[in-house]
Amino acid sequence: MSFRLPAFHEQAVSTPSHEDVTAMRDLLVETLASAGVDPEIDEAGNVLAHRGTGDQLVLNTHIDTVPPHVPYEREGDLVRGRGACDAKGPLAAFVDAFLHAEIDGRLTLAVTTNEETTQTGGAHLGETLDADGYIVGEPTDLDVCIAARGQFEGEVRIRGESGHASDPANGENAIRTAAPILQALESYDETRGPGAHDLLGRPTLTPSVIEGGEAINQIPGECTIQFDRRTVPPETVEEFFADLREHLDGWLTDGYDLEVGLIRPDMPAPEAFATDSDASLVEALATASGGQRRPFGAATEASYFADDAPVVVFGPGVLADEEGPVAHADREYVRLSDVEAAAEAVRTAVEQLL
């Protein structure tokens, strides 16, 4: 076995994948091939590799990163660089576990290429894979994360009637109507929605962008409010937008109309998920890693697998520390010893389950 985790992690972090993942995907494919595995690239651009037959576990993470690229640096155990923890640290750990685990079953490595943007790769895997459990690689500080909020990016488009601003009564001002609609967004979760979740707390609905009007002397006939929805189980995309539309209609005055929906309806929207804390996958990985069982602090591709089988989020590194953000920040780092510990924990759990 020619795979060496520290060397692969260095190569991965040194390979930019914030604009184009081709070089990073080539590195992964070549690494697997040199270890005697025959990887494939599916129609969505994901890299998949398989070992064995029978009951199946899936190790999933991603190779794309946010911009800008930050060069690889190492000082002893500390590695800095873009992707060091999000998510080339988990990737290195998963590749190591995938290649070295002694199994009597089927182990699949499924690596996506656009987790930080459209997540079409993760959604495609959710539609095409059928497994008994999924471990999704993200920086969790070696804790076993059994739940995460979903994220929907939506918009409310208010339509009134344009007119000349010299006669405000000769028109229906969509910007003025935005005021009660904003109030309605603030009050939504008081009367609707899923309520508080035991692990994830309450959902949030945050207006974040507002746009309307074309000229100072013209009554605006249209106004758009965009919002961020962080949801908790059991709320789904369809249920949320149907309930929100009904709620907003009660705040809309005569003479106006509105539309509510996803900003990009052709793109997947990760929903919230929660896995039983006593599921065998959770028990095995928590025992192997010594990590706590807790929620994850960001939306992930894990949601696309949750309807199929138990899923957990796990990996080396942290989203943030006492000084501030780590993942996605210029100071992104991971401890190599944690990457190696993650590999050992995943390998041990996989061997117990398969």
Above 90 in pLDDT, residue 169?
Answer: no
Q: Which tens digits make up the pLDDT trace of 212-250?
A: 999 999 999 999 999 999 999 999 999 999 999 999 999
Question: What residues are paired with 297 via a beta bridge?
Answer: none
User: In this model, does residue 289 exceed pLDDT 70?
Assistant: yes
Q: To the nearest whole number, what is the mean pLDDT of the chain?
A: 96
Percentage with pLDDT > 90 across the chain = 94
What's the CATH fold of domain 150-262?
A: Alpha-Beta Plaits (3.30.70)
Q: Write down the residue that tokens 């929620």 correspond to.
A: 295
- Model pTM score: 0.93
Q: What is the pLDDT of residue 171?
A: 83
Kindly tell me if the per-residue pLDDT of 170 is higher than 80. Answer: no
Q: Is the pLDDT of residue 309 over 80?
A: yes
**Would you tell me how many other CB atoms lie within 10 Å of the CB of residue 262?**
16
The amino acid sitting at 14 is S
Q: Residue 1: what pLDDT?
A: 57
- pLDDT per position as a tens digit, 337-346: 999 999 999 9
CB-CB contact of 345 with 289 (8 Å): yes
Share of the chain above pLDDT 70, in %: 100
Residue-wise pLDDT for 111-152, tens only, equals 999 999 999 999 999 999 999 999 999 999 999 999 999 999
CA pair distance 340, 97, nearest whole angstrom: 10
What residue ranges do the domains of the chain occupy? 5-148+272-353, 150-262
Q: Classify domain 5-148+272-353 at the CATH class level.
A: alpha beta
Query: Looking at residues 198-223, what average pLDDT do you find?
Result: 95
What is the rounded CA–CA span in Å between residue 301 and residue 88?
15
Q: Which residues contact 37 (CB under 8 A, 6 or more apart)?
A: 49, 51, 99
